[in-house]
Amino acid sequence: MVATLDSNQMGAVLAMVEDIGLPDIDDEAMNMVADATTEVVTFWDENGAHRLAVYALGLEESPSARHEAFLELIQTFDQFTAETQSQPYVADQVRVIAGPGEVDPAFEEVRPWPLPDTEFSAWETLPNGWHCQVVEGAVPDVFESATQATTWEHPDSTSEPLLLLVRPLLPGEPDCPA
C-alpha cells in the first residue's frame, strides 16, 4: 500500500528509525527458526537506501530492544496506512526471473510465453543459470491468475517449460539480483 504521511506521522517514523539505528538490524533470530518470514522495511534518506530486516520477527522468546522497536515501527506503519488515504502500490518496473520449471502432474498448466521479448541473450544471466530482465510498467495482467505451479512455454518452443518469478520493483531497488 502507498500512503502519504503528514509531518507529525513522519516525525514519529523518523524518531523510531533513529532509535532502531541504520543501516541494518542484527539478526540473531536466524538461528532459531528454519522457515520463518523476514520483515523488511526499506528507508530512503539523503544518504540513499537503508534496508532494515529482521528474520522471524515476533517469534523470539525474549526479543532484543532493537527487534521490539522494529516491530513497533511496522505496527505504526500499519496504523498510519489505515488512518490515511492509501492505495495499492503500482510499480514502474517489474522483475522477471526465468528458470527451468517442472510441470506438476497434479497441476498441469503450461501457458504460452507471456512477454514480448523472447531473446534470452538480452537478459542478464544469473549465477544459477536462470535469467533476469526488468520489464517497464506494472505487472502484466497475464500473471494475475498464475500460481507458483504455473509454468510457461519456453520462447524457443523446443526447450522445457520455464518457471517465472515475477514481482514489482520498489523505487531504488536493483534491477536484477547480483
Domain residue limits, the chain = 7-83, 93-168
Q: Are 60 and 100 contacting, i.e. CB atoms less than 8 angstroms apart?
A: no
Grid coordinates representing 92 are: 514502474
pLDDT digits (tens, 9 = 90+) for 63-109: 778 788 888 888 998 898 888 888 888 888 899 999 988 777 887 88
Q: Against a cut of 0.75, is the pTM above it? A: no
Q: Quick check: helix, strand or coil at residue 32?
A: coil
Q: Are 55 and 30 contacting, i.e. CB atoms less than 8 angstroms apart?
A: yes
